[in-house]
């Protein structure tokens, strides 16, 4: 009996990491998101976030790099201290592979949908199912399973991971490698989440926030959702 208990315990010990790994969501890339969220994708494609990786190239953003005591003529596209905040899912399943060529990583190059909303491998199908349910039965779906599947609803923390990750900062638990773009370098690096998200038009750093259809209900609800939806345009 004792031997059986030991064997069962060992079996669970071996299975536990496998189960956790199976549940870890993979990044699917902005093209997959854009199949349904076409308007958001088109809006995002014109932003600085979409072009974030390009700013690591030699000769780009010269003034900003010089101010931050970086070499404006150096190519930082393979610098592990920089790349993680200019791509999506760095070193994670389905995400940007450290040292890889950006040509082979196009779906996760830049700060894409999943940088803010979380790896979509596990919640993508829930969105499709929710859409189908609303169309066929006129019933909404609970939002909580999306969160359980890895969708991020506290986008402020997603932003803070890079925008507030400077040494000596007190608003976010920063850790190396720190961003050199500190507010002491330029006041524009004093990140204001609320202001950034609420910005409209061509200066919006993420994408235009279109009117949502109300497919999902219940918690968690992003703090800025109600305000964003007040004047949100209808998708085309």
Neighbours of 125 (CB within 10 A): 11
Q: Above 60 in pLDDT, residue 85?
A: yes
Beta bridge partners of 216: 141
Residues 14, 30: Cα–Cα separation, whole Å = 35
Average pLDDT, the chain: 89
Task: Check residue 12 and give its pLDDT.
Answer: 39
Which of 120-129, 134-143, 220-229 is the least confident region?
220-229
Q: Above 90 in pLDDT, residue 128?
A: yes
Task: Check residue 169 and give its pLDDT.
Answer: 75
Task: Check residue 179 and give its pLDDT.
Answer: 95
Confidence class of residue 10 from pLDDT cuts 50, 70 and 90? very low
Which H/E stretch holds residue 160?
helix 155-163
Domain residue ranges of the chain, discontinuous segments joined by +: 26-230
Task: Check residue 15 and give its pLDDT.
Answer: 37
Tokens representing residue 135 in the block: 């169309």
Task: Check residue 200 and give its pLDDT.
Answer: 82
Is 3.40.50.970 the CATH number for 26-230?
no
Task: Check residue 138 and give its pLDDT.
Answer: 97
Give the mean model confidence (pLDDT) for residues 196-220: 91
Which H/E stretch holds residue 129?
helix 124-137
- In three-state secondary structure terms, 64 is helix
Task: Check residue 172 and give its pLDDT.
Answer: 80
Cβ(107)–Cβ(29) under 8 Å? Answer: yes
Which H/E stretch holds residue 6?
helix 2-23
Please state the pTM of the whole predicted model.
0.87
* Higher-confidence position of 191 and 170: 191
Residues 29, 124: Cα–Cα separation, whole Å = 11
End-to-end CA, the chain: 66
**Torsion angle (degrees, nearest 10) of CA 160, 151, 112, 62:** 10
**Torsion angle (degrees, nearest 10) of CA 178, 113, 206, 160:** -30
Q: Above 70 in pLDDT, residue 16?
A: no
Give the mean model confidence (pLDDT) for residues 130-154: 97
Which of 18-22, 121-125, 199-203 is the least confident region?
18-22
Cβ(100)–Cβ(80) under 8 Å? Answer: no
Q: Above 60 in pLDDT, residue 9?
A: no
């Amino acid at each position: 009996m004792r031997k059986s208990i030991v064997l069962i315990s060992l079996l669970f010990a071996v299975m536990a990491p496998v189960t956790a790994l199976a549940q870890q969501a993979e990044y699917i890339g902005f093209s997959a998101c854009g199949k349904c969220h076409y308007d958001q994708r088109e809006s995002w494609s014109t932003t600085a976030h979409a072009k974030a990786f390009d700013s690591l190239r030699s000769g780009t953003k010269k003034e900003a790099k010089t101010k931050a005591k970086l070499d404006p003529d150096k190519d930082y596209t393979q610098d592990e201290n920089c790349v993680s905040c200019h791509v999506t899912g760095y070193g994670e399943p389905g995400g940007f592979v450290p040292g890889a060529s950006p040509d082979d990583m196009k779906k996760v190059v830049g700060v894409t949908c999943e940088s803010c909303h979380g790896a979509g491998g596990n919640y993508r199908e829930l969105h499709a199912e929710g859409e189908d349910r609303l169309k066929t039965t006129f019933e909404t779906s609970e939002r909580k399973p999306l969160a359980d599947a890895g969708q991020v609803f506290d986008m402020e923390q997603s932003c803070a991971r890079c925008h507030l990750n400077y040494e000596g900062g007190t608003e976010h638990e920063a850790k190396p490698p720190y961003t050199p773009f500190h507010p002491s370098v330029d006041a524009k690096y004093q990140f204001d989440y609320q202001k950034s998200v609420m910005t409209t038009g061509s200066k919006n750093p993420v994408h235009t926030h279109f009117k949502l259809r109300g497919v999902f209900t219940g918690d968690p609800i992003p703090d800025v959702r109600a305000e964003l939806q007040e004047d949100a345009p209808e998708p085309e």
